[in-house]
Amino acid sequence: MKNIAILASGTGTNAAKIMDHFIGNPEVFVSLVASNKETAGVLDEAVERGVPTAVFTNDQLNDEEFMLNMLRGIDLIVLAGFMRKVPTFLLEEFEDRIVNIHPALLPKFGGKGMYGKKVHEAVIEAGEKESGITIHLVNEEYDEGKILFQESVPVKQTDTPESLAMRVQKLEHEHFPKIIQKLVRSL
Ligand code: GAR
């Protein structure tokens, strides 16, 4: 049995799908949902499902002792809409064991400041014919770690950032839990 921790800053629709996917799963146990935002909806999603939660400040995120203590016993860290840079000590401690999802086809439309709605706005603005999702390992550079999985969706001429976001989110919900399961098996 491997333990995973989800780090998230937002509403937590991905985290909810991941928690639901692994309920009763003999291989994976979601043991923690932690957020840098105490009002993040993701914490409610966890509480509803009886998954332990934690909230940390930006100072605590960069405090090695605090974070390693919080993440003791965790085998894989899942970033599901986590909007902070992961500190180097965590990258070292969890080498190739931190996975992120990004709502576009990296290496396009990634990097610092590119998250959530901004990504979809940029994709539409650039006149792209397709967008999609990227699931990748996390390294020192924003959105540049090894790509594990990508899937695309068409961008329609009539798309707004919201309508494109919905299409992309559907893919995220469908694939992220499965890719996590695959990754856990390779640990
Ligand atoms: C997801 O679309 C995820 O891809 C994105 O944040 C959203 C979180 O939604 N992540 C990034 O943009 C990271 N650069 P959720 O809180 O509903 O799961």
- Is any ligand 1 atom within 6 A of the Cβ of residue 44? no
Sequence-separated (6 or more) residues with CB below 8 Å from residue 137: 96, 98, 99, 100, 145, 146, 148
Which pTM was predicted?
Answer: 0.97
Q: Has 13 been labeled as part of a binding site?
A: yes
Among candidate residues 102, 136, 173, 175, the one labeled active-site is 102
Domains in the chain, CATH or no CATH each: 2-185 (3.40.50.170)
Residue 69 marked ligand-binding:
no
What is the rounded distance in angstroms from the CA atom of residue 168 to the CA atom of residue 133? 7
Q: How confident is the model at residue 177 (pLDDT cuts 50, 70, 90)?
A: very high
Ligand 1 contact via 131 beta carbon (within 6 Å): no
Reported as a single tens digit per residue, the pLDDT across 74-128 is 999 999 999 999 999 999 999 999 999 999 999 999 998 898 899 999 999 999 9
Give the nearest ligand 1 atom to 9 CA.
16
Q: Is the predicted pLDDT of residue 130 greater than 90, yes or no?
A: yes
Residue nearest to atom 6 of ligand 1 (CA): 81
Q: Smallest Cα–Cα separation from 8: which of 103, 109, 76, 84? A: 84
